[in-house]
Amino acid sequence: MAHKLAAGNWKMNGTRADLGQIMALAAAHPDPAVDISVCLPATLISEAAQHVADHPITIGAQDCHSAGSGAHTGDIAAQQLLDAGARDVILGHSERRTDHGEDDALIRAKLVAAGDAGLRPILCVGESLAERDAGRTLERIGAQIDGALEGSDGPPSALVIAYEPIWAIGTGRTPSLDQIGEVHDFMREQLKARYGDTAAAAVPLLYGGSVKPGNAAEIFGVPNVDGALVGGASLKESDFTPIITALSAS
């Protein structure tokens, strides 16, 4: 069985003044059986990691470079993120695919770099509204997973996959529970075909896109949903903790 994971994505939000939210999350001490990660802007990783050192919460990053070091102005290597205190890294988020033109080959290289450094990669996949309306959702998700995992004999170490329909991110819209279930079942089958039943069962499959305290419990009731990647509702402890509690109860 995959571990339950609630991962927050602060995106380009927050300054050191907001780290109190992370300390409050740690103080709320949610169920240690649920893994909690908060993926922060790089500027906050080091200080946040010190705050959660004695708590069952990990700090993550939102991207890494595919190279280990070198002439890449403004970029950050996986090893540097680890050194700053990050343990997780989001890769292939749709906002990076759009804003920075990231393709599956680059995301695959970043997955390898993250794994080599010992970071847990949270690979994001998801269809646009046009792709869903055209009936191409599973084809798109399949191509993104194949593209990112191509050539790997086993799952990159500690792999996590987040299904994030682009049209549900930050919009307040969510797919139906049947639609979420269809994609998650498909992803599990795809992992089984690639790596076998046991390895596939250990990969946490997260749903992401407008998860809130009010809809978390029903989403976590969907088979093959092992947790959530949460954007807006991870910024405040008072929103994130009820989501974690719902995951713990699922």
Query: Which positions make up the binding site?
Result: 9-11, 170, 210, 231-232
| Residue 93 is a catalytic residue | yes
- Per CB under 6 A, 183 contacts ligand PEP: no
169 binds ligand PEP (CB under 6 A): yes
| Residue from the set 19, 148, 229, 247 that interacts with ligand PEP by CB under 6 A | 229
DSSP string, the chain: -PPEEEEEE-TT---GGGTHHHHHHHHH---TTEEEEEE--HHHHHHHHHHTTTTTEEEEES--BSSSSSS-TT--BHHHHHHHT--EEEES-HHHHHHS---HHHHHHHHHHHHHHT-EEEEEE---HHHHHTT-HHHHHHHHHHHHHTT-SSPPTT-EEEE--GGGTTTS----HHHHHHHHHHHHHHHHHHH-HHHHHTS-EEEESS--TTTHHHHHTSTT--EEEESGGGSSHHHHHHHHHHHHH-
Judged by CB under 6 A, which stretch of 102-110, 145-153, 164-172, 236-244 contacts ligand PEP? Answer: 164-172
Nearest position to ligand PEP, beta carbon: 231
Residue 224 as a binder of ligand PEP (CB under 6 A): the answer is: no
In whole angstroms, the minimum distance from the beta carbon of 151 to ligand PEP comes to: 26
From 51, 93, 131, 237, the catalytic residue: 93
Q: Is 164 in the site for ligand PEP (CB under 6 A)?
A: yes
Q: Which residues are catalytic?
A: 93, 164
